């Protein structure tokens, strides 16, 4: 360390000779180095325990700083490019950027920018050089993130029709725990919106005093007023992203309370609510996310066409209630978003229809749904349509009509009619939702439905685990705006792509990953001495033939600075759909590992270097 620089930063704190743990932490903050409190506390404790004191002197601090900040792997790199081993000249830094970071365009300007940004020692900065301290700060910064910096902002073409994008989507957004007795809470909406979620689900039921409520129908989950939900959505809608929000209504209200819902949507959301087409009344193609910026769309059943709805809203009709007649497939295979606990005696015949029988398939029955025209006419580009079959949709469905398909049925389609499924999602927005038996709010693997181009793969955002990590990783892309453009072969209406036989759509890519080291990993929960036995799993998620997991060796009892130096090679057939997940675990025994942390990102967002 440059002794004069280092002393000038820290000496004021040592004016009384010694400092305690709190002051040590504050000094690390002042030195602008990323640190983990558990590790500093552990090293501090080891230093003072020898002397039975609670404070350290200036030399102790320098030793702790070196131990935590001066990583040997950084030193090796620095010395490989620094002629005199203690300073990087501008030319040496440029060489490092070109050779190690694959920044082929790197020039004096690039080097100077990094020096001015990261070099803490003033006299070194003035000489347009970088000290080891500056190098450490650069290597620990966002500029060296494995995630491509240009993918951290919206970089994709946002002018395609809505159905050409994967859309970040949440299931039963109001729940923050399980699906049967847990609380419903407004925080479910706030947190999903702050994560960039663009399709929220609202389960609406008749409440007392003509006030509709949101909860998981016929369960013991608590209830929240519909109006409060809309207020929260209004407040947080566009904090994380400018692109449109779709409110997926699961509507169980009477026409009377549906009118109340319509009133709240219009009065609370105001101008944000989309109530008419943009441009042409006759809709031949869905508008783009760009054209719908800062707008909120209602996804619900609708009486008649967009044109009829627009005429009604313009005051040329005065009917208050419309009726939709749907063919209901009464088979035990069909899943529903209905929750079906034991039926009460008070259930009306209409309600009985909604409980699926578990007996053998019966013939189709007609279901009539009453809809308040006031709510129906708020549905413009996102009209929910009962899914019958791919053939039926191809022949009858309009571009603004979308389907919801349960995970079990969807999984069968992926396996047995992949090509038809891709053809369907290239034309129509398709939402997938978890099967009703996931009462503990568990999630399915979203990847298998992204593989066939499903736009809205709805997950329980409140449930941590690999499935949500894949969701979060996928939507880091394109600036985290909640819309990711689908690959060309999932947008092309004549595509013959299927995930189980990628054929001519394969663009093999070789990937080589050198796992060098870890730093300040979370210690094991089971360790009193701040230790862990870490290993890293590198996993690829994508089309079936790309799914693979590789595992590093285990580094014994070192959470502060484990070193692996292992190389892993992969060949990926369909890189456009692949995600890569790095998972760090602590080996507890030969058969069990404890999760320490993970990072997932799209393969094509992986930076070289």
Active site residues: 171, 216
- Which of 507, 506, 485, 483 is CA-nearest to residue 496? 506
Residues 527, 536: Cα–Cα separation, whole Å: 19
CA dist 223 → 163, 226, 229, 236, 436 (Å): 33, 9, 11, 21, 19
Q: What are the start-end ranges of the H helices in 148-273? A: 187-194, 226-236, 255-269
Q: Is 14 helix (H, G, I), strand (E, B) or coil?
A: helix
The tokens describing 308, both together, are 């009829």
Number of CB atoms found within 10 A of residue 215's CB: 20
- Which of 482, 449, 455 is CA-nearest to residue 467? 449
Tracing tokens 């102790």 back to the chain, one arrives at 60
Would strands 213-214 and 199-205 be described as parallel, antiparallel, or unpaired? antiparallel
Note whether 283 and 399 are within 8 A (CB). Answer: yes
Note whether 97 and 103 are within 8 A (CB). Answer: yes
Residues 104, 261: Cα–Cα separation, whole Å: 57
Would strands 579-587 and 383-384 be described as parallel, antiparallel, or unpaired? unpaired
The tokens describing 18, both together, are 């010694």
Residues in the chain: 609
Residues 601, 581: Cα–Cα separation, whole Å: 7
Tracing tokens 């847990």 back to the chain, one arrives at 182
- Which of 55, 45, 44, 57 is CA-nearest to residue 17? 57
With 0-12 CB in 10 A as exposed, 13-18 as middle and 19+ as buried, what is 449? buried
The tokens describing 219, both together, are 């369960």
Q: On the CB side of 108, how many CA atoms lie within 13 Å of its CA? A: 1
The tokens describing 238, both together, are 């566009």
CA dist 247 → 140, 162, 330 (Å): 40, 15, 27
Number of CB atoms found within 10 A of residue 205's CB: 19
C-alpha angle with apex 78: 582 to 85, nearest 5 degrees?
160
- Which of 526, 454, 414 is CA-nearest to residue 164? 454
Q: Rounded to 5 degrees, what are φ and ψ at 408?
A: -70, -45
Strand locations in 151-219 (E): 165-167, 199-205, 213-214
Number of CB atoms found within 10 A of residue 249's CB: 25
C-alpha angle with apex 585: 573 to 44, nearest 5 degrees?
135
């Amino acid at each position: 360390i440059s002794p004069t620089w280092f002393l000038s930063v820290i000496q004021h704190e040592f004016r009384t000779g010694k400092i305690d743990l709190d002051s040590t932490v504050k000094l690390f903050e002042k030195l602008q180095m990323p640190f983990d409190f558990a590790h500093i506390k552990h090293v501090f404790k080891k230093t003072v325990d020898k002397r039975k004191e609670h404070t350290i002197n200036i030399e102790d601090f320098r030793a702790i700083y070196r131990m935590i900040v001066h990583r040997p792997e950084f030193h090796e790199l620095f010395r490989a490019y620094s002629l005199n081993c203690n300073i990087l000249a501008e030319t040496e830094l440029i060489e490092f950027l070109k050779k190690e970071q694959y920044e082929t365009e790197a020039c004096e300007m690039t080097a100077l920018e990094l020096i001015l940004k990261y070099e803490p020692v003033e006299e070194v900065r003035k000489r347009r050089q970088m000290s080891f301290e500056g190098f450490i700060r650069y290597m620990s910064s966002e500029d060296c993130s494995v995630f491509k910096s240009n993918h951290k902002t919206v970089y994709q073409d946002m002018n395609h029709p809505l159905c050409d994008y994967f859309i970040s989507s949440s299931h039963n957004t109001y729940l923050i725990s399980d699906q049967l007795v847990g609380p419903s809470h407004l925080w479910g909406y706030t947190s999903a919106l702050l994560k960039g979620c663009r399709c929220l689900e609202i389960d609406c039921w008749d409440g007392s005093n003509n006030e509709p409520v949101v909860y998981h129908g016929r369960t013991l989950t608590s209830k929240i007023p519909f109006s409060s939900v809309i207020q929260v959505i209004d407040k947080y809608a566009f904090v994380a992203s400018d692109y449109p929000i779709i409110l997926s209504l699961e509507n169980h209200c009477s026409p009377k309370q549906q009118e109340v819902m319509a009133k709240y949507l219009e009065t609370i959301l105001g101008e944000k609510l989309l109530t008419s087409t943009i441009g042409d009344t006759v809709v031949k193609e869905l508008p783009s996310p760009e054209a719908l910026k800062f707008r909120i769309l209602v996804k619900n059943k609708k009486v008649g066409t967009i044109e009829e709805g627009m005429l009604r809203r313009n005051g040329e009709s005065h009917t208050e209630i419309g009726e939709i007649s749907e063919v209901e497939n009464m088979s035990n295979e069909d899943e529903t978003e209905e929750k079906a606990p034991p039926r009460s005696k008070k259930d009306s015949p209409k309600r009985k229809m909604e409980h699926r029988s578990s007996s053998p398939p019966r013939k189709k029955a007609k279901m009539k749904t009453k809809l308040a025209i006031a709510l129906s006419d708020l549905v413009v580009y996102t009209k929910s349509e009962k899914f019958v079959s791919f053939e039926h949709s191809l022949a009858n469905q309009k571009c603004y009509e979308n389907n919801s398909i349960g995970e079990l049925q969807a999984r069968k389609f992926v396996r047995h009619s992949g090509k038809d499924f891709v053809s369907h999602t290239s034309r129509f927005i398709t939402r997938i939702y978890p099967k009703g038996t996931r009462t503990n709010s568990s999630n399915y693997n979203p990847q298998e439905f992204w593989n066939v181009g499903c736009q809205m793969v709805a997950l329980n955002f409140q449930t941590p685990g690999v499935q949500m990590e894949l969701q979060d990783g996928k939507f880091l892309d394109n600036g985290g705006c909640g819309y990711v453009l689908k690959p060309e072969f999932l947008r092309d209406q004549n595509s013959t792509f299927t995930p189980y036989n990628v054929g001519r759509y394969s663009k093999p890519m070789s990937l080589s990953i050198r796992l060098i080291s870890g730093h300040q990993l979370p210690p094991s929960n089971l360790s009193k001495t701040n230790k862990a036995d870490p290993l890293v799993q590198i996993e690829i998620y994508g089309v079936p033939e790309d799914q693979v997991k590789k595992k590093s060796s285990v580094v014994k009892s070192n959470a502060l600075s484990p070193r692996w130096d292992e190389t892993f090679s992969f060949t990926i057939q369909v890189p456009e759909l692949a995600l890569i997940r790095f998972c760090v675990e602590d080996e507890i025994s030969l058969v069990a590992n404890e999760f320490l942390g993970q990072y997932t990102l799209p393969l094509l967002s992986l930076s070289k270097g």
